[in-house]
Amino acid sequence: MYNKTYTSLNKNEKDYFFEYLQSIKATNVQSYVNMWHDNWMTEVNTLPYVLENTDRFNDINGKFHIIYNDSDIVACGGVYRSQFNDLIGIGGVRTWTNDKYRHQSLLREFLLPLHKTWCIEHNMKMIVLSFNEYNKNLIQVFKRRRLGEQEERINNRQPHHLFYNGVNELEFPVTIQYTKQWVMYEKLDPLFEFDWDSIK
């Protein structure tokens, strides 16, 4: 497995990535609407529009990573400096993993550590994961052990893993990118505090 950032892709690689995004449509998952639209050039909520027409993932404000297994794209997701506080990074943004790779802990072992590293390298004090109403149940994946799963996933997190310093969950939703979001976070600086009420 290896990763590339979107900004490093050539035209053929970008076209291949866009084909990958189109293929997500067959899954009929609600989050698909944020990943692709045939008229993405005018649909500001879609990932291609954000990647091509904004500076959110431009290497300075953030990065969008694509994970490959040989030449196959198997997962993707981004991290960026939040608009509500420039010391907070938001990771796991527009994240997608192919069905047949979801049991391989790609997010835990590859993608989210890249996001945490980016935040540390850019002097962020906190990294946040946010979830919409339809996928907020995913918060539980980070907090508990699943049936039949090894204890190591929760108990033996390494420093590069997200939530090595502890899992913090807000008890109320906030507004991020004009959308109601449920938040969990890891403090990269234990003394850093943020007033979450300010973005309710």
Rounded distance between C-alpha atoms, residue 15 and residue 11, angstroms? 6
Predicted local confidence at residue 41, as pLDDT: 95
Which residues constitute the domain of residue 112?
A: 2-199
pLDDT value for 147: 44
Mean pLDDT for each consecutive 10-residue tract of the chain (200 residues)? Answer: 97 97 77 88 95 96 97 96 97 92 86 96 97 87 59 66 86 93 96 96
| CATH code for the domain in which residue 15 is found | 3.40.630.30
What is the total count of domains within the chain? 1
